[in-house]
């Protein structure tokens, strides 16, 4: 199998490259001109806003499976930069699909990576959410991802393209940006332990309930969907069990090496926050046998240790 990962310089990309390569796939990956890909694979520079460049890479690599990861994936950033989010997540996706439709190789499978945020304002009693649940996005990012999925379904029906839609719920792990909650908490704790800040951790809304999965489990799901997913189908990818952000915080603090005070920061509160998002993951299990295997505690501990090592290395580089 040969894969092309579009937008592989981000958090998930490195893990997906490693997962596919370990399964014996030939892997090609793209990044923006100012980005780098550290994993071993065929690398290509690409901006998905340029359709001609996408077509050239498809014809050069002739992939069996395309993983479309390129996105503006932060909810908080989407509130601040809605136009940029729409351009990348919607227009960029259309560019990718048009290039695949025009490619010399005609049997390309495409995975469009969406988000559990697409379900949005969930009706009472709807959780756990099945893929057939109506979408009602509650933020700009979610709306663009819902649009991406609808466009994918249209292309699959109209042009008989082999497209699989994925609604991935929150995933985390080592090397994730600290704009995401688990990495944010872990980075703050590591900085406190190193004496870089007061022993106070700043938090936002702790009552929201979300489904969190380790990124290493998530990329395994992506590989299996590339191999076994049904064309035209939509799959939830998640643990299937939501927890409060308070639980995430408590878990992270349980690994801390000293007592830490918790303080709510109004700037960390979202303009709109949905109380509960939890998926039904029975479909992906039925079609591929996939389920999450890495515990929440392991994800949090590994992420905290990543930040400890990163800050240690930074300190050594400064001679401190």
Residue with tokens 């958090």: 11
Residue with tokens 């005609």: 106
Give yes or no for a contact between 201 and 185, defined as CB atoms under 8 angstroms apart.
yes
Into how many domains does the chain fold? 2
CATH number at residue 157: 3.40.50.720
Whether residue 92 has pLDDT greater than 90: yes
Strands 2-6 and 26-31: parallel
Q: What percent of the chain has pLDDT over 70?
A: 97
The most distant pair of C-alpha atoms in the chain lies apart, rounded to whole Å, by 61
Q: Which pTM value belongs to this model?
A: 0.93
Q: How confident is the model at residue 314 (pLDDT cuts 50, 70, 90)?
A: confident
Cα separation, 303 vs 248, in Å, equals 12
Q: How many other CB atoms are there within 10 angstroms of residue 276's CB atom?
A: 16
pLDDT of the residue at 266:
80
Residues 158 and 248 in one domain: no
Residues 17 and 129 in one domain: yes
Cα separation, 266 vs 126, in Å, equals 30
Strands 42-45 and 65-68: unpaired
Whether residue 182 has pLDDT greater than 90: yes
pLDDT average, residue stretch 188-200: 97
Whether residue 73 has pLDDT greater than 90: no
Evaluate the omega torsion of the peptide bond into residue 196 and state whether it is cis, within 30 degrees of 0: no
Residues 190 and 250 in one domain: yes
Cα separation, 278 vs 242, in Å, equals 5
pLDDT of the residue at 275:
85
Interval 12-46: pLDDT, tens: 999 999 999 999 999 999 999 999 999 999 999 99
pLDDT of the residue at 317:
59
Average pLDDT, the chain: 94
Interval 230-283: pLDDT, tens: 999 999 999 999 999 999 999 999 999 999 999 998 877 665 567 888 999 999
Interval 94-109: pLDDT, tens: 999 999 999 999 899 9
Q: What are phi and psi of 231, to 5 degrees?
A: -60, 135
Residues 12 and 40 in one domain: yes
Residues 161 and 201 in one domain: no
pLDDT average, residue stretch 131-160: 96
pLDDT of the residue at 318:
58
Domain extent for 46: 2-172+212-237
* Those residues with Cβ within 8 angstroms of residue 204's Cβ, 6 or more apart along the chain or in another chain: 181, 245, 264, 265, 268, 269, 270
């Amino acid at each position: 199998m040969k894969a092309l990962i579009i937008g592989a310089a981000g958090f998930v990309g490195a893990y997906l490259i490693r997962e596919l390569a370990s399964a014996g796939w030939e892997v090609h990956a793209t990044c923006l001109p100012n980005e780098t890909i550290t994993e071993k694979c065929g690398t290509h520079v690409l901006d998905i806003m340029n359709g001609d460049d996408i077509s050239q890479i498809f014809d050069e690599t002739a992939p069996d499976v395309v993983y479309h990861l390129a996105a503006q994936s932060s909810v908080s950033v989407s509130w601040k930069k809605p136009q940029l989010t729409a351009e990348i997540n919607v227009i960029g996706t259309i560019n990718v699909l048009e290039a695949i439709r025009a490619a010399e190789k005609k049997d390309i499978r495409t995975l469009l990576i969406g988000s559990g945020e697409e379900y949005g304002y969930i009706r009472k009693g709807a959780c756990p959410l099945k893929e057939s649940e109506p979408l009602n996005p509650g933020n700009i990012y979610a709306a663009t991802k819902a649009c991406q999925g609808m466009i994918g379904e249209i292309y699959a029906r109209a042009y008989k393209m082999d497209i699989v839609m994925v609604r991935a719920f929150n995933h985390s792990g080592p090397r994730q940006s600290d704009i995401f909650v688990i990495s944010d908490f872990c980075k703050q704790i590591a900085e406190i332990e190193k004496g870089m800040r007061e022993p106070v951790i700043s938090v936002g809304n702790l009552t929201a309930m979300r489904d969190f999965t380790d990124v290493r489990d998530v990329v395994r799901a992506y590989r299996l969907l590339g191999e076994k997913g049904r064309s035209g189908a939509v799959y939830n990818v998640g643990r299937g069990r939501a927890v409060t952000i308070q639980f995430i915080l408590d878990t992270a603090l349980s690994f801390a090496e000293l007592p830490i005070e918790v303080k709510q920061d109004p700037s960390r509160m979202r303009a709109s926050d949905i109380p509960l998002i939890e998926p039904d993951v029975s479909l992906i299990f039925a079609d591929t046998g996939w389920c999450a295997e890495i515990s929440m505690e392991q994800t949090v501990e590994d992420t905290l240790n990543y930040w400890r090592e990163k800050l240690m290395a930074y300190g050594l580089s400064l001679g401190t």
